[in-house]
């Protein structure tokens, strides 16, 4: 077996892409999307019909046309992905709401409503929310409503701990972005075994299992296949098409990865107050910087997506005028 097939025996493989053709090729169990991936997907010819349908829907519903169209487009692509994968798709809340619990909850409910109108049950959708205190608080409320959440932009143990205590379905610790920060600060080329991103996920995974938390750990944001192999055995791993291809083309033996079993330990679970969470996050320079940067980048790509939708609307309207004149 190639390394991708070996990996499937240890972890659930998730595709980190909105590219339908890549998802068909690599047959992942789930798929994750975000504004960056949706912006790339929206520029592909095969998605033009989804763009026009999203714009028409937004026009009928009034309000902020570009924001509504972006939401509708995310659900349309997610629905198409769910025709292929047997599991779930992750769809992200607008990152501009990362510090607004109430608005995040309302946005998530709207996404679920759109999926249900498309015939998709909420059990097949994970709502992606940034791992701010407000985001985690929103996820706790949503989980009680049966809306399952994927807490993203997670870089620290304090974020992971707060997510588990909130009862969220899944977390996405970002391996590669942690590595990026440490490489930039130290100038060191880390191996997979001493990779600080790998070490972070390993510690979270082992703590969750030892305390018997139900929250799923899904390693994300990989820079190389060595990081993926070092985390083989993690509950889920979300991987870009480029790295899926590299694993598929490698016929070697997969690295041993995480321990196959972590014995539960009789130790009390830790619960963080808001003040403790904010203090610990602030004390972690890497996590603070990467969380802020991640939110800024997702906001930028969300705005680019909305600009693309508005441009498409203008071009379509101009075409209609030319045709009717």
Residue of 3, 128, 209, 290 with catalytic role: 128
Beta strand 170-173 with 149-154 is parallel
Tokens of 253: 């033996």
What is the rounded CA–CA span in Å between residue 310 and residue 248?
39
What is the rounded CA–CA span in Å between residue 238 and residue 12?
9
Distances (CA, A) of 281 to 93, 177, 275, 277, 297: 22, 16, 10, 6, 19
SS (H, E, C) 167-193: CCCEEEEEHHHHHHHHHHHHCCCCCCC
Nearest to 220 by CA among 17, 40, 41: 17
User: Residue 50 belongs to what H/E stretch?
Assistant: helix 48-61
Report phi then psi at 309, rounded to 5. Answer: -65, -40
What is the rounded CA–CA span in Å between residue 304 and residue 122?
28
What is the rounded CA–CA span in Å between residue 191 and residue 226?
8
Judge whether 183 counts as a catalytic residue: no
- Which residues are the active-site residues? 128
């Amino acid at each position: 077996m190639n390394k991708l097939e070996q990996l499937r025996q240890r972890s659930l493989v998730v595709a980190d892409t909105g590219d339908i053709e890549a998802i068909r090729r690599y047959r992942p169990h789930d798929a994750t999307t975000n504004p960056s991936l949706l912006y790339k997907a929206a520029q592909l010819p095969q998605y033009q019909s989804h763009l026009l349908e999203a714009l028409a829907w937004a026009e009928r519903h009034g309000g902020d046309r570009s924001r509504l169209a972006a939401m509708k487009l995310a659900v349309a692509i997610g629905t198409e992905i769910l025709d292929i994968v047997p599991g779930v798709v992750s769809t992200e809340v607008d990152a501009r709401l990362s510090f607004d619990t109430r608005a995040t909850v309302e946005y998530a409910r709207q996404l679920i409503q759109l999926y249900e109108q498309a015939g998709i049950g909420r059990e097949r959708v994970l709502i992606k929310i940034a791992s701010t205190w407000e985001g985690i608080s929103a996820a706790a409320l949503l989980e009680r409503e049966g809306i399952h959440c994927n807490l993203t932009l997670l870089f620290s143990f304090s974020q992971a701990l707060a997510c588990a205590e909130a009862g969220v379905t899944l977390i996405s610790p970002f391996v590669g972005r942690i590595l990026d920060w440490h490489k930039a600060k130290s100038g060191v080329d880390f191996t997979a075994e001493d990779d600080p991103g790998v070490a972070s996920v390993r510690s979270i995974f082992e703590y969750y299992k030892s305390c018997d938390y139900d929250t799923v750990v899904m390693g994300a944001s990989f820079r190389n296949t060595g990081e993926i192999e070092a985390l083989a055995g993690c509950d889920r791993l979300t991987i870009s098409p480029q790295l899926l291809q590299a694993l598929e083309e490698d016929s070697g033996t997969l690295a041993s990865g995480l321990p196959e079993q972590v014995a539960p330990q009789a130790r009390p679970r830790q619960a963080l107050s808001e003040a403790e969470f904010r203090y610990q996050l602030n004390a972690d320079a890497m996590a603070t910087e990467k969380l802020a940067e991640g939110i800024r980048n997702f906001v930028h790509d969300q705005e680019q997506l909305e600009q693309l939708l508005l441009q498409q609307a203008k071009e379509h309207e101009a075409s209609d005028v030319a045709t009717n004149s």
